[in-house]
Structure 1
Amino acid sequence: MAELCTRMRSFVDDEVIPLEAELSRQDDDGAAALDGLKRRAKELGLWALGHPEEIGGGGVPFLDFVYLNEIIGRSEFGQLAVGSVSMQDALMLHRHGTEEQRRRWVPGLVSGEILPSVGMTEPEVAGSDPVLVQTTARQDGDEWVINGHKWFTTGARQAAFCTVFARTEPDSTPLHRSISAVIVPTDTPGFEIVRSVPTMGYDPSDHYEVRYTDVIVPMGNVLGGRGNGFLVAQDRLGPGRIFHCMRWLGQAQRAFELMCDRANSRFAHGSVLADKGEIQRYVAESAAQIQAARLMTLDAARVMDAGDDARVQIGLIKFWGARMLHDVVDRAIQVHGALGLTADTPLEAMYRRARYARIYDGPDEVHRMSTARRMLRDPERVPWR
């Protein structure tokens, strides 16, 4: 495992990071550069390592892959370059899909020939409360007719399909049994990409507003059975949140390295910045936050890998990891001064992504509330027991 981590670190640092400016342009040259990185990752044996062997992946165990994902996260393009971007959806289909669904979609996800997307968040209702979903899928014979409005459907324009969460059951059904996950190929008539949603300086961004107008798909496109949308979503989001947290660690570690390099080389007010007590405090506090978040994340992965209920551990690290990333990047920008505000370093983009982290996959406030409630109901569930 150590040797594999070393090879992954060399690939990300020496081959992916130098191409970040080109990759971020989202033009033909950027697409060609990404294709080249994908080929290179496959040549090096670094492709789809966390996908199970039975679906064509590398079969690296979950806990071991967490270490790799920490390295992959050093670049925002890392997961695209090594094929891990499809892992959550490939696992979701592998666990909950029918034989036909797995046959149609999983091989392309693992090989990187296609990309997935998920339609959950809606602009008209609070995304932090999924029972409010208004998109509907109405049964008409042996077909679903879907109507609704989603946004922040990440990657929708490039995706081959979107897993849409829609209300399928009668109003009398308990809310948590009323939503189903329905697979919608993105070339289906009525699937309309309205726009790329401008977000915090990204225009275009990878987040799309999508309308569903009488979108017709077969009844067999339900994933995991009718009314099981929340089960499917949680089974996807649990490991995904751990992966997010590990990638945030990679970003924070890179920001920490940039901060230390700057502190050791920048001269101001009679000495290098590294000699200033306040800068030393930044370094020490950042290192402590990174290490605390890393150990918490590994513990959450350990509990999940053992097959135990890891909801408390995942909830804690989701809001703690997001705060850690923000704080470390913020200090690194401060040490860089005006340079940190420019695109001459990756820090300003990292800062924006750190702000996203406190909202997506559940806002910090919800994770704090739900985690506290679980521990108050059962104090034995505190993570140190």
Structure 2
Amino acid sequence: MEFALGFDKKTMTFEVDQDNLMGVLEPNKINVERSGAEEVKRSLLEPIGSLRLKEIVKAGEKIVIVTSDITRPMPSKIVLPLLLEELHKANIPDSDIKIVFALGSHRKHTEEEKKYLVGEDIFNRIECIDSDAENCIHLGYTSLGTPIDIFKPVVDADRRICLGNIEYHYFAGYSGGTKAIMPGVATREAIQANHSMMVRKDAKAGTLEENPLRRDIDETANILPIDFILNVVLDEKKNIIKAVAGHYLEAHKEGCKFLDQLYKIKIEHPADIVVVSAGGFPKDINVYQAQKALDNAQHAVRDGGIIILAASCKEGLGEHTFERWMTTSKSLEEMIVNIQQKFELGGHKAAAIAMVHQKARIFLVSDLEDDFVRKIFLEPYADIDAAINCAYDILGRKAKVLIMPYGASTLPMIS
């Protein structure tokens, strides 16, 4: 049987015999009444735990809209025009609005990338800027000691609106909500303090209220208020199938519930081989981003099995500290020991890959050079077919294969 997985902006095909196929982990079937711009418009008319946006903002106020960067699939160019309509109904002119791309610890955008994210019309009308970790204001600390150091234009605004897409996050539980602020527009030191909690037991994908790291993120809004959020859930083709708007906690929680209905998928037992795609561009733009699919795949593979990760990673590793850890560590075990002794942002993803490697071998099908892939402790393959055949040689010709076409989104659960 032939299958196709997202790889950069195209697809990569491969074959798995019917006898070997354990299944294809696709989203659960749910009823979707509206989608796209129509669903976004509905959410703005029916905010959760909040007044409508046009009733919150006042003429003369300075508005900041914080949205996702190029590494996220958030469809800002669809959401923003409808959000701006609401602001204009409250007599907020374009000149009083600023759009901030939440970079977190990621690289800055080119001007063309900014234009791509918001659309040419909005880019030409409204000031669009990247967050800057070097231009932040210290506002205090969370109860767990995380410094709240936030990008100055976001702090200076009269109103803060946060956009984002909701998907599983391997230690924050879910993306979206307050995450646009922390880590979105925070300093590296603040992000590092928060992310150091990833080693705690309940800091894991699909966990919200019991997650100490997520609670720490949400505490940020106690000191720097978030006036309104608009979050979306995307289907496997990156279409908006659910939008939630309103209160930064209540609306986000409803979005997470919907995500669980769609993407928490039960399997009876783990597979020998898991073939996983991050879902193509932009989720496989670099190893730093593609790691999320790898982390979800570990929940579906047996101990001693093999994960085949198909991810272009055409921009390389994607983050300088992560790159240092991946290229200078003497072993995978060293990474795990080092992250436990002294947490370092960027190194945390290297350690996360090392922890997956403790459970299963990792084959990488990418656009990276083979020698470089070996240097980062992964096993390189030119295509998925070659990787599967090698996996059969290791595990036996009767090995069972599970395919995860949307690895960055789907969360396997052993039933």
TM-score norm. by structure 2 comes to 0.25
Per chain length, whose mean CA-contact separation is higher, i.e. which structure has more relative contact order (CA < 8 Å, sep 6+)? 2
Q: 1 or 2, which has the higher strand percentage?
A: 2
Structure 1 length normalisation: TM-score?
0.26
